[in-house]
Amino acid sequence: MPVRDAVEGDAEEICALIEEHARYEGNDELTLDREEMRGHLFGADAKAWVLIAEPPGQPGTVAGFAFCTWSFSTWEARPGIWLDDVFIRPEHRRHGLGGELLAELRARTTGRVEWDMQEGNDRAAAFYKQLGAQEVHGWTRYRWRPARD
């Protein structure tokens, strides 16, 4: 299967994928602290987890990832998954890896799998719709960020 759980040895590649995704989306400034991310993903009090997509027939090659945390719905009274980021490197697209990542997330919970998508990303919207995902109407996301010096 081309999707697997990330291991600590993947931390550098995960950071590289996040930075590549940022550049793909026009953010040329993002640089992550590798050790800090390693702690968030694989430390004693890990805060997130990652699935890695490998192209068929190319074990050990990292094509993309899904970066996730657990969530909980009070109204459904069950845990779900918050998909913070999903990215497949352009050279590995159109092989079903994004669908494989999302199918694996769906299989890991009886609750909701949720994520945000930037407005105007019509290709992603069509992809998610093809998978059976539904847009959430009537809700607006708010974000409270820490003050910066």
Instruction: Evaluate if residue 59 carries a pLDDT over 80.
Output: yes
pLDDT score, position 143:
75
Given 128, 131, 143, 144, which residue is catalytic? 128
Our CA angle for 11, 125, 143, nearest 5°, is: 60
Say which CATH class 3-116 falls into. Answer: alpha beta
pLDDT score recorded for residue 119:
84
Q: What are phi and psi of 87, to 5 degrees?
A: -155, 130
User: Where are the chain's structural domains?
Assistant: 3-116
Q: For this structure, is 128 an active site residue?
A: yes
Q: What is the pTM of this model?
A: 0.88
User: Is residue 92 over pLDDT 80?
Assistant: yes
Sheet holding 113-115, edge to edge: 3-5, 49-53, 64-73, 78-88, 113-115
* Model confidence at 1: pLDDT above 60: no
Q: What is the 3-class SS of 26-70, one letter each residue?
A: CCCCCCCCHHHHHHHHHCCCCCCEEEEECCCCCCCCCCEEEEEEE
Mean pLDDT of 16-30: 95
pLDDT tens column, 112-148: 999 988 888 888 888 888 888 888 888 877 777 777 7
pLDDT above 90 coverage of the chain, percent? 70
Confidence of residue 57 (pLDDT cuts 50, 70, 90): confident
pLDDT at 133: 85
Structure tokens of 59? 């074990």
Q: What angle do CA 90, 94, 95 make, to 5 degrees?
A: 110
Cβ neighbours of residue 19 closer than 8 Å, sequence gap 6 or more: 30, 31, 32
